[in-house]
Amino acid sequence: MFDLTFDTDGVAKKFGLEGTLKTAQIIETGHINNTYLLYYDMGGNKYNKYILQNINTNVFKNPAGLMENIVAVTGYLKERIRESGGDPERETLTFLPADNGNYFYADENGRHWRVYRFVDGTYTRDSIDRPETFYDAGEAFGRFQSMLSGFPIETLHDTIPDFHNTKKRFAALREAVENNLSGRLEFARAEVDFALSKEGEASVLVNLSDAGELPMRVTHNDTKLNNVLFDNKTNKGICVIDLDTVMPGLSLYDFGDAIRFGANSR
């Protein structure tokens, strides 16, 4: 549940933010972390905007490792973006260190916080309005993977172990079907039977990876449309966000997840 009764400015100031906090508003998109947009008055009619997030440690049980991943990946991206003549302040996220030297702050209630700069002149979309939108999002995710092709993936933590392990996911499905804890199996029998008929296909990528026939890459693992920032002027996808699930994986995971989202009309 979102909360604005905590000392927003006090938490944010742990990250060295300057100016006077004028407003803090809840960002309700996203389902995992609590997210707030902060406006800091710098005087002279100038404002700096930041995103403050409460990391959901029920989902991400190693916030230190998670932030190590994100800082390393965004730092690497900034170098590649500079080399290509791009703008590293707009084409990847910029996280700020806390006064403890880490890129997160744990408060007295055990909540873990982080701050990054808001990317001005951008917007997100939750649904595909035209084919070009989906193409531009795919191009942004493809560029993200391409720029990270030389990143040392052995240095990354698994933020959610077995997140895309389809063999284990299928085993969990079988267990859920056998237990039928909700008592609703018969209402979904046709769908369940269809899913169970695909068992042979569910293990293809994992088996190829285990056999060394598919290389591991730095993958985003949550390639939804609303994890891309689009430029207000060009409508092009310029920045990939929501980097909590960045970890070693197969590029086909990202492709498949994007197609799953893109093919959904709701």
The mean pLDDT value for 167-194 works out to 95
Share of the chain above pLDDT 90, in %: 80
pLDDT of 127: 87
Distance CA 77, CA 140 (A): 13
Share of the chain above pLDDT 70, in %: 97
pTM value is 0.91
The overall average pLDDT reported for the chain is: 92
Contact in structure between 69 and 159 (CB atoms under 8 Å): yes
Q: What residues contact residue 198 under an 8 Å CB cut-off, 6+ apart?
A: none
Closest by CA to 14, choosing from 123, 119, 101, is 101
Highest-pLDDT range among 3-12, 53-62, 256-265:
53-62
Whether residue 3 has pLDDT greater than 90? no
pLDDT of 135: 94
Return phi, psi of residue 99, to 5°. Answer: -70, -5
Whether residue 85 has pLDDT greater than 70? yes
Distance CA 183, CA 129 (A): 38
212, amino acid identity: G
| CA distance between the termini of the chain | 25
Distances in Å between the alpha carbon of 229 and those of 124, 136, 264?
A: 5, 10, 20
pLDDT tens-place string over residues 205-222: 999 999 999 999 999 999
Whether residue 2 has pLDDT greater than 60? no
Distance CA 153, CA 217 (A): 7
The mean pLDDT value for 195-208 works out to 93
pLDDT of 4: 61
pLDDT of 8: 86
Instruction: Give the SS3 label for residue 241.
Output: coil
pLDDT tens-place string over residues 89-110: 999 999 999 999 999 999 998 9
pLDDT tens-place string over residues 15-41: 999 899 998 898 887 778 999 999 999
pLDDT of 1: 47
Whether residue 186 has pLDDT greater than 50? yes
Pairing of strands 112-117, 20-27: unpaired
Distance CA 239, CA 140 (A): 7
Alpha helix stretches (DSSP H) within the chain: 8-13, 63-83, 88-91, 131-147, 166-179, 189-196, 199-202, 204-210, 251-262
Better pLDDT: 261 or 245:
245
